[in-house]
Amino acid sequence: MKKFYENFEQYFVACLLAGMTLLAVVNVFVRYVLKGNITWAMEAKIFMFAWLIFFGASWGIRIGAHIGMESFVNLFSSKIKRLFALFAVLLCLTYAVIILIGSYNYVEKIYSIGILSQDIKWLPQWVPRLIMPIGYGLIIFRLVEILIRIILGKQDNLNLLDEAKDAIKSFKFDNNNPKQ
């Protein structure tokens, strides 16, 4: 259960990718072999892709895959870095809460109007758009995890991907083992 808790975004993204791929393959088969069309396939893939983006954003926070600009912050001591990280997480949380509230209001409005999907006639529009508050709820959840680790002193940064550091590492030249 702990493994699922730590990686449920990854599993969900994998299922969405598999579903999108399967739907695309089946639609191509129906179109070119059976000379038909699955009219709702494109809209379904768009909805699945939207869900993939929001789950992927949360997963990116979890594994530290988002790009960071911490070169300046890394010049300071661990205590100062923790203060910068605390400030950054609080800013991110503020933004995410604002978007969560706005997206909830948006989904609630679409629900109250009762708009149906264009190609998937039976699907209310609020269902696929529900990913916005769900996604930002997951983002907030992952940011709160980082906030707790920073407060407890277990982490002194946002654990972001440092592309500059990775690029420098990849171009280092070792006299004994030159990289080409």
Query: Which pair of structure tokens corresponds to residue 62?
Result: 């979890």
87 or 71, higher pLDDT: 87
Q: What is the mean pLDDT of residues 122-131?
A: 94
Angle (nearest 5°) at CA 52 between 50 and 57: 100
Q: Which pLDDT band, with edges at 50, 70 and 90, does 65 fall under?
A: confident
At residue 179, the pLDDT reads: 54
Phi-psi region of 93 (alpha: psi -120 to 50; beta: other; left: phi over 0): alpha
Is the pLDDT reported for residue 107 higher than 80? yes
87 or 180, higher pLDDT: 87
pTM: 0.81
